[in-house]
Structure 1
């Protein structure tokens, strides 16, 4: 019972160390369970009849003391840079104590063995650049009891972990335990080897999102992700992590921060106003078939180049006079460039107008126009409409019969009467003015009847700017 209590003390010591830094969730732990073998023979020595150092090292049948049950427990904590700290407790039964006691034939039988050890180990796995083959070296110390006698030891270890999975390994280890007391001068515990074999379980790393990547290595610890992206997700599988992907749900290109370019025009879909039609960068990805700088969808004439001011359509010259409609004061009538696209009133036209105007008849001494003059007035209106931007003056004249005052008044009245007729029949009032000259501008002699008839007239003359 007292031997069992020693093993329990050693086990509690191990467990005590295993929880010392349990709050550090990002540092993995390892627990190993297995069997151990104690071998005293290949350590060298004179008092006991045994070989030189490492002599018959693998002679398990004659020299190894093995307890046929789980007899070793260890707990290790990874420190960093390949180093780990491990504490172990073990039990055994010593029946093979060298080959023969020097000078004493007394048999050695059923000696209890207990040990509590600690070591600093260094893994060579990263040096060898392998994941499953994990050799290591260790140095440390401990305390060993044989029966009721105990002594401190200085230990050197070499072992291998064969990792079967990320968290499970098969472990073998050999430890040389140098006892501080001198066995040859009366000490009870000799220097010896202790071998062990068992299973190692790694645990302790925190993986909040359950993606198999520990939080300490996971750049996205709260979101399940992929190992190749250090634990960050790539929802659309385009090789760009969601955090850096401007279109995380649609596969895209790295040059567009993860967004697609469906039409291949170099403008990513979110910025492309025409994502299914190849277009121009300057027009937000929309095409411009006529090259006038206006996207086809906004171009009133997508196949004819035209200015934006005319909705992308070219300006027309409907009357073909060389003056574009936008600049043509008479877009429906051919004219001259000098007259802003309107026809110019020639001397011949002017003469024709006045020939017609002279035939306008009035009631005697009045300004009322006689009905038989309607036809000639219609001809005058037709001419005026051919020159829609030209302005004219309707002039009234009389002979010298009667007073000059009455003649002046009559000429004014007749001129206005003609003007009003013309405006009432389709001529813009702003194109016409009326003036009376009375008897002041005769064109024939007032001494003859024929001359006076010529002087009683109306003229329609072009008003020059």
Structure 2
């Protein structure tokens, strides 16, 4: 049973710590100072507790419940202090302590036994349910620990009480608590009655406008009493909740909004609030009359189609392809090539004049650094023809095996393609292929001929 007592005390402390932080409302805290009376007789005889069983000291439960003269132990001074916290939905948690001196245990006189009690309670208030502002009955349960002289024992408590509020801050609290002792041999089941003055506090005015949150219709924003605590920020006589433009003074006909440009369209609905316009364009002007509001018209003084942002179509490069359809609007091209220039035989020859000078490491596909400038020239030319694709061909002489030559030519062509991609060419416009020794352009019988056959060529891919 001693372990049970310790668990009960720990549970009370945990309950007090957790619940007390659960809610924050107007005047959530209360402190009570009062007196208490201990009555053993009316609590009835607990058959499991044998300490007083043979003394005939108790009656039945509630027997002579109001017989204060014969059964109540009262210390004539402040003997109870409690603090309470409202935790929401009508529930209040209370932690309290009390002291007393016992000179009677039921009908048995005793020799001034000291009494100390520490209790935690959770009570439900019927005040709001009854719709009352001053009558506040409640019921509850709790637990605690009681010491009578040097004997301590845990109790389970049942509580009824009633408060009478003089105003929202001060009231009287009357309470009766039945404390059932857990200890079988030396615990004392008893009633503890109390009366005290209770002080309620913690009323909150979040926005500091002098109106408590419970009466403030806008508790987080400073406001005016005439608007039940709500503001009229722009001072136009229309409170912010009903003002469509709470930060700008306006007119009642526009729900508190202004019409800055005087075009008969309130600023919130006017897409051009500082320039008079027409209703068809949500208050915006259309200087060129093309049906596109000036704010959306790239050429507000020159009529043009909406598809071209209000501007007339142009042909900047004069190649007969309008800029909207011209994939190369700044370079003259052909209609067949969507306004871009077409690759000529001369351009292909120029590409190949460059490509034939590309040098590789001996027997490898790695490009030598002195060829990087040539490859940059090739990439620059290709970028001038964005609609054309190119194929990079690798060729070798006939020295070595045919299989190795084919592999090397493929690798070198791919190496050129990859390098061009790294310097900005779109890889989707390039392909590579190796022909090995299959397409010589000179005899392989001489050194000069073999050197010509070891080459990279570029062709236009249709």
Per the TM superposition, whether the score is higher than 0.5 is no
Structure of higher CA gyration radius = 1
